[in-house]
Each structure stands twice: as structure tokens, then as C-alpha cells.
């Protein structure tokens, strides 16, 4: 179990890693122990930077904001940050609250088309013959 010092973000922000365990900062410390975001998000909510500066935020906030230069989903941000979704939602809510991000539900194509029963029966028949 060897600790190594590795810099993130081009050497500006130090981070400690353990070769076996990975990140040594627990996710709940990133969100200051908060588990509920102040804004409603789901995995497909799209967030985008407004260009407004986010004052007094941590390094994870800065990284999240950098990812949001173009519209991106909450799920994608969580994956890029390697943080649990609930922690990511708390960070994004902080950025929405200070005006640095906007959040929008993804556009839908309208009501779902009616399902073709014949198509479903053909798929079911095909599955039964293969299994």
C-alpha cells in the first residue's frame, strides 16, 4: 500500500492517491456532509455554465464547472468526476444556486408512440425459438 502524490489539473491542485484504494478523500467530505441537493436533478438533467463566476468553491466545483462549458448530463458529470451521483447533484446545486450553472430537463420527442402489438409478438416468438 504505497501512497503517492499526484497533481491534478496541470499541477495546480495536489491530490493524494493510494495505489490500491484510489482516492483518499471520502465523497461526503466533498459535499460537506450534505446528501440532498437544493435543486431538483435527475440523471438526464442537462446543465450548462452561464459564464458567471462561482466564488469560494472547492476544486470539485471548479472541475464540474469546467465540464459544463457545453450542455452535459448529470450522469456524465458524475462519471467524469468519479463521484457518486448524489454528491455530484449537491455540487451542481451549489453552482446553480450561485448562478454559475443553469439546469434544464432534457427535451423529449413528445408522447411515446403506440406500441405495435404484432412487432412485440414477433420479437417474443423470435426469442422463444432461439432459447
Q: Where are the domains of the chain?
A: 31-107
Return the pLDDT at 21.
55
Return the pLDDT at 46.
94
d(CA 20, CA 13): 21
d(CA 116, CA 125): 14
Return the pLDDT at 6.
47
| Residue of 100, 88, 110 lying closest to 41 (CA atoms) | 88
| Residue of 85, 103, 104, 96 lying closest to 30 (CA atoms) | 85
Contact call for residues 8 and 59 (beta carbons, < 8 A): yes
d(CA 12, CA 63): 12
Mean pLDDT, contiguous 10-residue spans, the chain (131 residues): 47 51 60 76 92 82 92 94 90 91 81 81 90 78
Model confidence, pTM: 0.62
Return the pLDDT at 40.
85
Amino acid at each position: 500500500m504505497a501512497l503517492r502524490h499526484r497533481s491534478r489539473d496541470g499541477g495546480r491542485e495536489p491530490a493524494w492517491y493510494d495505489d490500491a484504494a484510489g482516492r483518499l478523500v471520502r465523497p461526503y467530505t466533498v459535499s460537506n456532509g450534505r446528501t440532498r441537493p437544493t435543486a431538483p436533478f435527475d440523471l438526464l438533467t442537462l446543465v450548462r455554465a452561464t459564464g458567471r463566476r462561482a466564488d469560494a468553491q472547492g476544486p470539485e466545483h471548479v472541475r464540474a464547472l469546467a465540464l459544463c462549458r457545453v450542455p452535459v448530463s448529470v450522469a456524465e458529470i458524475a462519471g467524469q468526476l468519479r463521484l457518486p451521483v448524489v454528491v455530484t447533484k449537491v455540487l451542481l446545486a451549489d453552482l446553480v444556486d450561485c448562478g454559475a450553472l443553469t439546469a434544464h430537463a432534457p427535451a423529449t420527442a413528445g408522447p411515446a408512440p403506440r406500441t405495435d402489438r404484432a412487432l412485440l409478438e414477433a420479437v417474443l416468438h423470435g426469442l422463444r425459438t432461439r432459447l
